[in-house]
Amino acid sequence: MDSPTPSASAAPDAAAVERALRLARLAATPLEGQRFAAEFERVLASFSELARIDVRGVEPLATPSARCDVLREDVLRPSLEREQLLANAPQPLDGFFGVPKTIGGES
Amino acid sequence: MSDATALERVDAALERAARLEARLHAFLSLDAAGARRRAAELDAHSGPRGALHGLPFAVKANLCWSGVETNAGSALLAGYRAPYTATSVQRALDAGAVALGVANMDEFGFGSSGENSAFGPSRNPWDLARTPGGSSSGAAAAVAAGSVAFALGSDTGGSVRQPAALCGVSGFKPSYGRVSRYGLIAFASSLDCVGVLAPDVERVASVLGAISGADERDSTCLPEPSCSAPAPRSLQGVRIGAPREHFGAGVDPRVAACVRAALSELERLGAQVLEIDLPHTHAAISTYYVVASAEASSNLARYDGVRYGKRERGDGSLQGMITATRSSGFGAEARRRIALGSYVLSSGYYEAWYVQALKVRRLIARDFERAFERVDVIAGPTSPSLAFALGERSADPLAMYAGDALTTPASLAGLPALSTPCGLVREGDSDLPVGLQWIGPHGADEFVLALGAAWQRASAHHLARPALAQEAQR
């Protein structure tokens, strides 16, 4: 079921592109999907040089920051008011963020 | 102009910005009433003056400014009014600067030409048919046109330096962590830096002095004091490394020649120019676009139509609403990068793409560490090309990405980097600026700015202004 062990030079197949779009919560018409897949393939092909670089013994560098695990004291601090936070919400609902009904009944 | 009141300066800037707006589209909004009110307050205040007293500035549209539409150039965030102000913007205001308006940009920072703004592209003051660069497109255009004294921008892979180069102004990306990212709408958190664009390096340095320094609201912000004003220094004996890879294939020979000429000038001023190698430069674009897209796909997951931004109903379900909102709200380049990021992070591809890119990222950082054992600073072109025509690269993402070849390495390594104008190249009927990029070791922000300032005291490239700016001053 899973794709074979990928190498960075492997071109993405249509199913993999569709999966990436689904994971990203992005929809595309079939025509857009095709165009997208072709573009995607071209972009990734141009990045395939990455796979040819010898990285044996090299640790990944996720951030240039020397700071990590920075914690502050676990005490309550003033923050934004509920009204301010809801001011930009597309559907404020009784002091909460409104979303389509997800459990039971009709939406 | 130095004797002018804050209100006189702000009025002049507003008049110029408004008059040029139809041609440049540098701004998404101007806050004339707020700027005048603030300027009048400054004039009425008799206490000590801030370092940026009365200076009108532009705020890139991804830096939160309380009560003002902060849409990051995206249709998805049209109408979003920030409920708080970014640390960098607040510190500039606290130092006496006056925010004039919101500067146009590529959506969420995704672009190198300004053409990915959902609200139309900005134009280059040197040639209105060309891009000002991006993603800080409006910020660079506004500074080059003389509408503002400086602009705050953001630089993830070159978004301050490249537009600064293409518009003939000075632009600085600090070391990662020197300026708080609090209130900067996130694109790629391990790369994003708030930066400064201004007509000259001294102004850049004074703004950086005001906005830098520790901020407990950004856990990656370094616990260091703000950057101090660079003491005047000489270029005598400074070892400048010129990377061979920054003058090679893909670099416009006219740009390379202009930068070589600048290096010769620096040698005449006492600097020592040494050829160096940064052998992984060729992999910087691939590395950057894998890492930055991965981080972007994660950061932009927050735009789901629930808490802010636009919402599309879709099929009426929660998932349908989220998918419809994102599919219609994001522009083409944003969708491409989010999908690319999801792909390289997804099961089965994570090691081959994302982790591999992070390992190459370390090799790029090591290249710099080795180079700085031999030289004090690295210098080369900022952008491999001159300002290109609007529309020339917008249909070809790879051509657009290629423009970031020389700015992304310092971003990946978190190093301070400055672009300063170093000459003009005639193309057709236009004189187009070329930028010289200075890259320093991590934390050497003041040193890099001191060198740039020293060069500008001894040269005149930074004084060149587009005809449009001179016309606007009459």
Q: What is the DSSP letter of B63?
A: B
Model pLDDT, residue B473: 61
User: pLDDT tens digits, residue range A8-44?
Assistant: 445 677 788 888 999 999 998 888 888 888 888 899 9
Nearest to B358 among A21, A60, A72 (CB): A60
pLDDT band at residue A99 using 50, 70 and 90 as cut-offs: very high
Place of tokens 């690269």: B393
CB contact under 8 Å between A64 and B348, yes or no, is no
**Alpha carbon of residue B232 to chain centroid:** 25
CB contact under 8 Å between A107 and B357, yes or no, is no
**Chain B residues inside the 8 Å CB shell of A80:** 83-84
d(CA B384, CA B249): 9
Q: How far apart are the first and last CA of chain B?
A: 14
Low-confidence spans in chain B with pLDDT less than 50 = 1
Tell me the Ramachandran region of residue B348: left when phi exceeds 0, alpha when psi lies from -120 to 50, beta otherwise: left
- Between A101 and B323, where is the model more confident? B323
Helices B201-211, B445-458: axis angle to 10 degrees equals 160
Q: Are B341 and B298 in contact (CB under 8 A)?
A: yes
Model pLDDT, residue B114: 98
pLDDT band at residue A7 using 50, 70 and 90 as cut-offs: low
Instruction: Looking at the complex, report in whole angstroms how far the Cα of residue A97 sits from the nearest Cα belonging to chain B.
Output: 6
Q: Is the pLDDT of residue A3 over 80?
A: no
Model pLDDT, residue A105: 55
Domain ranges in chain A are: 14-52
Model pLDDT, residue A5: 40
> What are B59's two structure tokens?
């705020």
Residue of B nearest to A73 (CA): B216
d(CA A29, CA B43): 58
Domain ranges in chain B are: 6-238+458-473
Model pLDDT, residue B471: 76
Strand, coil or helix: B273 = strand
CB contact under 8 Å between B339 and A17, yes or no, is yes
Q: Are B200 and B187 in contact (CB under 8 A)?
A: no
A74-82, long-range: CB within 8 Å, 24+ apart, which pairs?
Answer: A80/B83, A80/B84
Model pLDDT, residue B2: 60
> What are B84's two structure tokens?
């708080």
pLDDT band at residue A1 using 50, 70 and 90 as cut-offs: very low
d(CA B22, CA B30): 13
User: pLDDT tens digits, residue range B335-361?
Assistant: 999 999 999 999 889 999 999 999 999
The correct answer on CATH 3.30.70.980 for the domain covering B6-238+458-473 is no
- Burial of residue B340, with CB atoms counted within 10 A of its CB: 0-12 exposed, 13-18 middle, 19 or more buried: buried
Model pLDDT, residue B59: 98
Percent pLDDT > 90 in chain A is: 50
CB contact under 8 Å between A7 and B176, yes or no, is no
